[in-house]
Amino acid sequence: MIERGKSSHAKDALPDGWSESSIGAHFEFKNGLNKAKAFFGHGTPIINYMDVYRYPWLMSSHVSGKVDVTKNEQQAYSARQHDAFFTRTSETVDEIGMCAVLMEPIENAVFSGFVLRARPLNDNLSSSFVAYALRGRAVRQQIEATATYTTRALTNGKSLSAVIVALPTPKEQQRIGAALKDIDDLIASLDALIAKKRDIKQAAMQQLLTGKTRLAGFEGEWVSQALGGLSKIKTGSKNNQDKSEDGEFPFFVRSATVERISKHSYDCEAILVPGEGGIGSIFHYMFGKFDAHQRVYVINDFNGIDGRFLYYQMAMSFGAYAMQNSVKATVDSLRLPTFQTFEVHMPVSIDEQKSIVGALDAIVDEISALDARRGKIVALKEGMMQQLLTGRIRLV
């Protein structure tokens, strides 16, 4: 049952039945294993930085790293079920002190030197609760506030031990952990479905954009033509100083991000490709007025080819072609002949091109809808964590 948190104390006091405690009262910390590169890639499982960063509930399937260790090292740096692990160092402070709890045993597992192990000192805390409580906003704020920074952000066992966490009763801990895990399971199922849809999209592109599979009702000829004969290709003319934060029009810049600009040079459908810094990134703009940086190629004025069909063709194969034909320097860059000579395989029939686009767009729309749903559930989870981990909403 869900009910609003009750408290007989001040507004910011803990809910009835809750207490505060330091992490160090429940865990003992230890730094991880450091070994030379030659020892990695074989041997016993090792819990690495990204394993801890990605997953609050750490399962054996999440751990793919291997390291060759001695018997003494295996004992000294063991990773046991219910151990908590924290990211120890990162380039940014918001990535340190991220917590994951090992929820199932992994035989002979150890943990990396970029990770801190927190081994339980008692049975007072539910592992499922710890996995979320130690990623909660109040805990994260304390960890980030006590981080040190030289060339990288760092935390340590002493700092983490002093962090204060709000604790409900053991039963409520288990209910909170289970409720949040249900949401994580839903997110994971959506991730799997999105990945499957993306695989379907990739397979459909390989079949439909090569003519290996034809849509019903189409039997006409396919041809290959150079991109230079199908469109106009030129770079933009604007520089970074031309952009305007409150500009009316999109401004496609070298880094392949979209900023704003006050005046526009184009009013058309176009495909945009950065000439350096993101080679192979393909953008399809269909909404009229825009401008482009002088290091972005603008492809428009399509002749005998549907613009979105061309976008899909380039999205499928231009990246590899571009990397083979880029000018090798400090930053790889593209020149106009690379675009002009790129071969586009296509049906002569515009109607078939549009039908292929329709089939692919339908899959893209499905993926977009799933991505949007996932985003809403992630936001719901963040809100629930804030409510449940502070006792504003109680599970009783």
Strand pairing partners for 343? 226
pLDDT per position as a tens digit, 151-187: 899 999 999 999 999 999 999 999 999 999 999 999 9
Torsion over CA of 318, 319, 325 and 326, rounded to 10 degrees? 130
Sheet holding 249-252, edge to edge: 258-261, 249-252, 289-292, 266-267
Q: Rg (Cα) of the chain, in Å, rounded?
A: 27
Rounded distance between C-alpha atoms, residue 102 and residue 56, angstroms: 9
* Residues 29-34, mean pLDDT to the nearest whole number: 96
Rounded distance between C-alpha atoms, residue 145 and residue 348, angstroms: 63
pTM for the model: 0.83
Q: Which of 5-19, 132-146, 248-262 has the highest mean pLDDT?
A: 132-146
- In the chain, the percentage of residues whose pLDDT exceeds 90 is 83
pLDDT per position as a tens digit, 116-130: 999 999 999 999 999
* Cβ proximity of 396 and 1 under 8 Å: yes
Rounded distance between C-alpha atoms, residue 293 and residue 76, angstroms: 56
Q: Are strands 153-154 and 19-22 parallel, antiparallel or unpaired?
A: unpaired
* Cβ proximity of 335 and 327 under 8 Å: yes
pLDDT per position as a tens digit, 316-331: 999 899 888 877 665 6
Domains of the chain, CATH where assigned: 1-15+169-219+349-396 (1.10.287.1120), 19-167 (3.90.220.20), 221-348 (3.90.220.20)
